[in-house]
Structure 1
Amino acid sequence: MAPTGFQYIQIAFTLALAFLSGLSACFTLWVIPLLQLPRVPAQAKAAELTHLVTLGGRYLQPSSRMLGAASVGFTAWSYAVGNDLWGYYLLCFALLIPIAVWEIYMIFPINDRVAEMDQQMMKGGGEALNAEQERELSRLLDRWTKMHTVRFVLPGLAAIVSASAMSC
């Protein structure tokens, strides 16, 4: 039996969730630890995280929103046609929606503070941070890493749920 259009969309949705999860995991498990190496100057740490956050806002946030909307669409469609898969996609939505709230309260304040530090260094002609500010930046990067874990775990779980729905 040939796959249906819906099955192709299911595959694309599942792969998009897995990609989003993997990309977010790279930030947390690879990029930020590289920035935290002792030889990386504070100016580079702040500038790189600020740039990373800018790119994330440009590409990851819209894609996250689209995936959340897609999960609602899958839920509604599955329910409307009497397909038992609606519960899987409702669970995907339930896993994705808290990410936005988590980002607003747990990650964005860190992003904003690091951006302030970056602006401070740029206005000062690239002057280095003092020792206390460098410690604060290090703590902010550590906290960002911990808080950002949610950003890859929940879409990863949603990808697993979506893959499970495809096997039904």
Structure 2
Amino acid sequence: MKIVYFFNAIYGVGGPNDVTTKIHGLDFLENSWKPLIPTFNPLIQPLDNEAIIPKSHKDGFNGTVLDYYLKTWNIDTLITVGFHLKSCLFHTCVGARHHNYRVVMLRDCTNSSEFPDTVDDKNPEGGWLRFVFLRIYETDIGFTSTSYDLKRALLN
């Protein structure tokens, strides 16, 4: 299984002339730009042979080499995890679908408290807005599963 890590490079990845700095109103960085070196939690630290891709958009396919890597590895199915369902994870999964990948998002490997004002103890998804996001995802983008069910399916 191939694993790809993303990190947010909102200040741009191409030096002081990167248009991203202009888009985000960060012109003051022109003379002080430094490359961003990501740090990862030790529990999910990438191995030396795993890809680390900087991105400056919510969609991990937009302006990156992700599609190239996946195509060279003959990958057609993505199992996605991430922090914010409503932001980068959602948009990257939409990008994956637009690039003709089958996408499976692991529901329990996302931040379940990202919609704190909609939390409902009676809702198995944690809250009604998260429930709606997941149903939209399953209707328009791909599949969802839990990590437990995925592991069980892979072992059978």
Same fold (TM over 0.5): no
Structure showing greater Rg: 1
* Structure having the larger proportion of residues in strand: 2
TM-score after normalising by structure 1: 0.24
Higher relative contact order (CA 8 A, sep 6+): 1
